[in-house]
Amino acid sequence: MDIFDLIGVVNANPGAGPEFDELLYQTVMALDTTRPISTDGDSEDLPHDNYAVFCHYKGDQGQFAVGQYTENVCNIPGKPNGQGEFIWNNDHTAQGMTWFATATLRMREKGAEDTRPYTLLSNWSSVIPGVKRTDFSSLETGYPHGPLPLYGEDNLPDPWSNPQIQLLQTAFNPVAAVDTAFWDQNKLSNGAGQWPVAPTVIAAGANTRTLTLFNDTFTGTRLDVSWSLRQGAPDGAVVASGSLTPDIAPGDHAQLPISFTAPSTTGLLYLDIRVEKPNHGVLFQDASTVYQVQ
């Protein structure tokens, strides 16, 4: 029996069926009726309004997807959706760490209420301050060659300047605003965890792009979005700009177009996006989206 057979065994409930899940549900309800209840794994849904199932390691075509990229939200109509655990056992690699950001952002676009890439400790152990990679003898069983975490206090003393951690902050930002097609194009990254992998090719002249705007805050519907197109570098000269003031309900997102005229000279253009909420200042800023004019 190899490790993937073992994964299938441990993911199965001890009772292996809806009867066991129902018993667990009724046991929890007997103790606490105030909070929703969920099961992680391949369990069947139960006919209770306060019960939900979040799948594990489910690929975009429904296949078992250990160590693979997935943005499947495992939709059950009328229930919260998302994935309770995914990316392991590639989470200790540079590419896998980037997937924490790209897969989560794509799941948010699909309306996921719960996303839990597994596990941040495997790629950034000093998320618990002071922890070094060498504090581990190895990661849990199931990783190839018993690796150490990707980053720790010993090799990443200033995590907030690390581009992968900055990308995580972008993807998880409650009021993120992103070029939808650009993120989709670059979601797989590469073996080095690079982001972005390649610019999106656009033509000189008129262009329209679609932004996904999130309002995953608790109050307030208005977002003040400003964007500028900068030539040659993220802080280069502004060649086009605009603004949006959408009203988006808390916990929701929307897709809106922006239009601009790209200059006739070939080269790179960087989309600088900023999001504010009234009386809160700038809550989001990102200039990693890059276009190649041809």
- Give residue 7's pLDDT band: very low, low, confident or very high (50, 70, 90): very low
Q: What percent of the chain has pLDDT over 90?
A: 86
Closest CA to 82 of 42, 44, 50, 114: 114
Give the pLDDT confidence score for residue 15 in this predicted structure.
60
Indicate the residue type of 161.
S
Q: Please give the residue range of the domain that contains residue 117.
A: 3-170
Over residues 17-24, the mean pLDDT reads 90
Over residues 52-58, the mean pLDDT reads 93
How far apart CA 117 and CA 256 sit, in angstroms, is: 28
Min mean pLDDT across 1-5, 175-179, 269-273 is at 1-5
287 shares a domain with 223:
yes
Place of tokens 């209770």: 48
209 shares a domain with 223:
yes
Domain count along the chain = 2
92 shares a domain with 202:
no
Min mean pLDDT across 9-18, 105-114, 187-196, 236-245 is at 9-18
Decide which of 170, 197, 228 is a domain's last residue: 170
108 shares a domain with 239:
no
Instruction: Evaluate if residue 26 carries a pLDDT over 90.
Output: yes
pLDDT per position as a tens digit, 95-120:
999 999 999 999 999 999 999 999 99
Distances (CA, A) of 173 to 69, 86, 146, 178: 21, 20, 33, 11
pLDDT per position as a tens digit, 204-261:
999 999 999 999 999 999 999 999 999 999 999 999 999 999 999 999 999 999 999 9
212 shares a domain with 136:
no
How far apart CA 246 and CA 58 sit, in angstroms, is: 34
235 shares a domain with 161:
no
How far apart CA 261 and CA 286 sit, in angstroms, is: 20
pTM score, two decimals? 0.90
50 shares a domain with 151:
yes
184 shares a domain with 147:
no
Instruction: Evaluate if residue 11 carries a pLDDT over 90.
Output: no
